[in-house]
Structure 1
Amino acid sequence: MGAITTTLNWTALIGWTVVAVMTVFLHLSGDDTPSGELMKITLFCELICASETLKIAAGLLRGDLALSFTVHYTRLLMYFVTMPHSEVSTTVVKMILLAWSLTEMFRYPMVLFPEVPLLRTIRYATPLITFPLGAGTEAYAAYKVLMVTENMLLKPVLGLVVLINVGGGTLWYPGMIHKVVRSVSGKKKAK
Structure 2
Amino acid sequence: MIRTVVNTASLLGWSWIAFHTIQAILADNPAGEDLLQVVLIAQVVCASETLQIAFGILRGDLALSFVVQYTRLMMYFITFPHTSVSSDVVKTILLAWSLTEMARFPMVLFPKSKNLRTIRYAVPLITFPMGAGTEAYAAYLVFLTTENMLLKAALGLIVLVNVVGGTVWYPGMVKKVTRSLKGEKKKAK
TM-score interval, normalised by the smaller of the two chains: over 0.9
Post-superposition Cα deviations, 1:108-161, rounded to whole Å, max 9, x if no partner, equal 000000011000000000000000000000000000000000112100000000
| Deviation, structure 1 residue 4 | 1.4
- After superposition, where does 1:1-191 map in structure 2 within 5 Å? 3-31=1-29, 33-186=30-183
**Backbone CA RMSD of aligned residues:** 0.7
Deviating beyond 4 angstroms after TM superposition, the runs of 4 or more aligned structure 1 residues are none
Structure 1: stretches of 5+ with no match in the other structure = none
Query: TM-score, normalized by length of structure 2?
Result: 0.96
> Helix, strand or coil for the counterpart of 1:87?
coil
- For residues 82 and 29 of structure 1, what CA distance do their matches in structure 2 show? 22
Query: TM-score, normalized by length of structure 1?
Result: 0.95
> Helix, strand or coil for the counterpart of 2:57?
coil
- For residues 104 and 33 of structure 2, what CA distance do their matches in structure 1 show? 25
Amino acid at match of 2:83: S
Post-superposition Cα deviations, 1:152-171, rounded to whole Å, max 9, x if no partner, equal 21000000000000000000
Amino acid at match of 1:70: V
Q: Name the count of aligned residue pairs.
A: 184
| Deviation, structure 1 residue 30 | 2.1
- For residues 182 and 50 of structure 1, what CA distance do their matches in structure 2 show? 28
Structure 2: stretches of 5+ with no match in the other structure = 185-189
Identical columns (%)? 61
